[in-house]
Amino acid sequence: MKEGTNVSPCGALCPECAKYPAECAGCRSIEGRVYWLAYTGRAVCAVYECCVKGKNMRDCGACPALPCEKFTKDPTLSDKENAANLAKMLRRLKTE
Ligand code: SF4
Ligand code: SF4
């Protein structure tokens, strides 16, 4: 399936990100090794690792723990913006 036509494991849509596609090929193409991990000390996104690698699921939509503690705040957003963004991601995961 073409990258960007489906939601990422966390509910994000890669084409909505300014880094896509020139600087990042998209979550599934890079298998969760996203650029901002440089600020976290992790090698792979915790959501991607748990959902795709750990539970062998395509996305978090069916997980009873959603949204779990791995859904951390985006530091580039205000609390209000982050909450709105998370709500949008969860809506996508529940309706896709
Ligand atoms: S790398 Fe992680 S946060 Fe980014 S789109 Fe993929 S699952 Fe979501
Ligand atoms: S615990 Fe569930 S909601 Fe959290 S990252 Fe893993 S699959 Fe997704």
Residue range 6-60, pLDDT digits in tens: 799 999 999 999 999 999 999 999 999 999 999 899 999 999 999 999 999 999 9
Helix, strand, coil in percent for the chain, rounding step 5: 40, 0, 60
Q: Write down the domain spans for the chain.
A: 14-95
Residue 78 structure tokens: 């205000």
Q: How far is the CA of 38 from the centre of ligand 2 (A)?
A: 21
Local confidence band at 95 (pLDDT 50, 70, 90 cut-offs):
confident
Contacts of 21 by beta carbon, 8 Å cutoff, 6+ apart: 3, 4, 14
Q: Which amino acid is at 23?
A: E
Measured distance CA(85)–CA(60) in Å, rounded: 16
Q: Which of 8, 33, 51, 68 to mutate to test the pocket of ligand 1 (most atoms within 8 A of CB)?
A: 8
Taking the whole predicted model, whether its pTM rises above 0.85 is answered as yes
